[in-house]
A = this chain, B = another copy of it.
Amino acid sequence: MIDILIDRIIDKRNPTVVGLDTRIEYLPSELINKHKRRTLDFKSASDAIFDFNRQIIDKVYEYVPAVKVQVAYYEMYGISGLQAFYDTCKYAKEKGLLVIGDVKRNDIGSTAEAYANAYLGRTNLIEQEKGAFNLDFITINPYLGIDGVKPFIKACEEYNKGIFILVKTSNPSSSDFQDLYLEDKKTKVYEKVANKVSKWGDITIGNKGYSSVGAVVGATHPNEAKRLRVDMPHTYFLVPGYGAQGGGAEDVCKSFDNRGLGAIVNASRSIICAYRQDKWKQKYSSSQFAKAALAEVLDMKESINAVLEQSGKIYWR
């Protein structure tokens, strides 16, 4: 699967991902009003959210390789919200986009297998097997160790899918546990995780030199990313934290290799709420939210590519 992602990145000349972390508060009021009946309930809110996502996908699908859909924002609206999650992922795939489910699932082996089946593989229905969500990639949390991760790696191999395992997250308190020094007083917890993730990925290295077992490395930690890029030469990075969380193009550049590969950068709020940004709100009305999102997507692409070019990381330009 990682080869397919890399091909799309090269084809679109764009190593960025649109994060559909959509919540009702982000929608223009006219779109909410279009869907609500007397009051807004979970069903009408979810319909409005899917409509919003669909319009953004329609604008950006030719310019980005993938979308990342954060399931928390859909679970928040109950079963209707999860239907909007399902519909969004399905629609994005129909438009030719790869779909990264940002689900951060984790559990003991037998339960991890259920999650792997749910999102990447197929579920046993006695006389047949069927895929429940059928995404291309998901994110997972490594705290339970290899027997909680193995079912996901197995699904990557069996169904040609990919995962990104949390290594160094973008939030300030990622330091609480991830930055603790181990007994050699040199290695931090996240570096040990990185080392394991790199090894776990060795069996699924594709023909571009990268594994379908990737890592999440926050844009807000450029120094750590720079070292991890060297220590994990076969691990693709999903880089969240660009834009609203404070990471810039210079920061995310550290996660790329010398060919301009090795990382895919996600931005969510800065893209889907672009129409509210000072930068765009003169040019686009709120009903043109999808156009504003595309403008921000292209801007982000240009910013990152410019820095990659300055750094001599220009393979696919």
Contact = CB atoms under 8 A, between A and B. Distances in A.
Nearest to A127: B39
A111 interface: yes
A269 B45 CA distance: 38
Contacts of A171: 108-109, 144-145, 147-148
A174 interface: yes
Nearest to A117: B76
A73 interface: yes
A154 to B, nearest CB: 15
A215 to B, nearest CB: 13
Contacts of A112: 72
A50 to B, nearest CB: 13
A111 B173 contact: no
A143 B166 contact: yes
B182 A132 contact: no
A124 interface: yes
A312 interface: no
A142 interface: yes
Contacts of A77: 123, 132
A76 B196 CA distance: 27
Contacts of A123: 42, 76-78
A16 interface: no
Contact of A104 (B86, B105, B118, B172): B105
Contacts of A240: 108
A315 interface: no
Contacts of A118: 72, 75-76, 78
A158 interface: no
Interface in A4-51: 21, 23-25, 32, 39-42, 45
B145 A111 contact: no
Interface in A150-209: 166, 169-178, 180-183, 185, 189, 192-193, 196
A252 B11 CA distance: 56
A114 B41 contact: no
A115 B72 CA distance: 5
Contacts of A76: 114-115, 117-118, 123, 132
A316 interface: no
Contact of A145 (B105, B142, B177): B177
A117 B73 CA distance: 10
Contacts of A183: 180-183, 185
Nearest to A122: B76
A255 B25 CA distance: 44
A173 B148 contact: yes
A117 B42 CA distance: 13
Nearest to A218: B108
Interface of A: 21, 23-25, 32, 39-42, 45, 70, 72-73, 75-79, 81-83, 86, 104-109, 111-112, 114-115, 117-119, 123-128, 130, 132-133, 141-148, 166, 169-178, 180-183, 185, 189, 192-193, 196, 240, 245
